[in-house]
Amino acid sequence: MKKTLVSALTTALVVGAASTTFAAANPFADVPADHWAYDAVAQLVQDGVVNGYSADGTFKGDQSMSRYEMAQIVAK
């Protein structure tokens, strides 16, 4: 449990530091520019609320959010 939390926080910090690069262009590979939620997702990235998954550069908006992901958003 502790390793998972530390890993999630480390990933969040690394992705958070790189979020400005994602916001410059298409924020995520799985959210195309013509997607209905593109503007909202891009705004959340620009505001630093969401970071996505750095391993593959995706948002995974079709999956349920974990408690850790929700806690990260609420904390921000």
Residue ranges of the domains in the chain? 2-75
pLDDT attached to residue 6: 58
Q: State the number of CA atoms in the 13 A half-sphere of 9 facing the CB.
A: 7
Q: What is the pLDDT of residues 26-42, one digit of tens each?
A: 889 899 999 999 999 99
pTM: 0.60
pLDDT attached to residue 16: 61
- Please say whether the beta carbons of 63 and 20 come within 8 A: no
pLDDT attached to residue 3: 63
* Amino acid, single-letter form, for residue 3: K
- Please say whether the beta carbons of 31 and 41 come within 8 A: yes
- Does pLDDT of 19 surpass 90? no
**Among 71, 21, 38, which residue's Cα sits nearest to residue 61?**
38
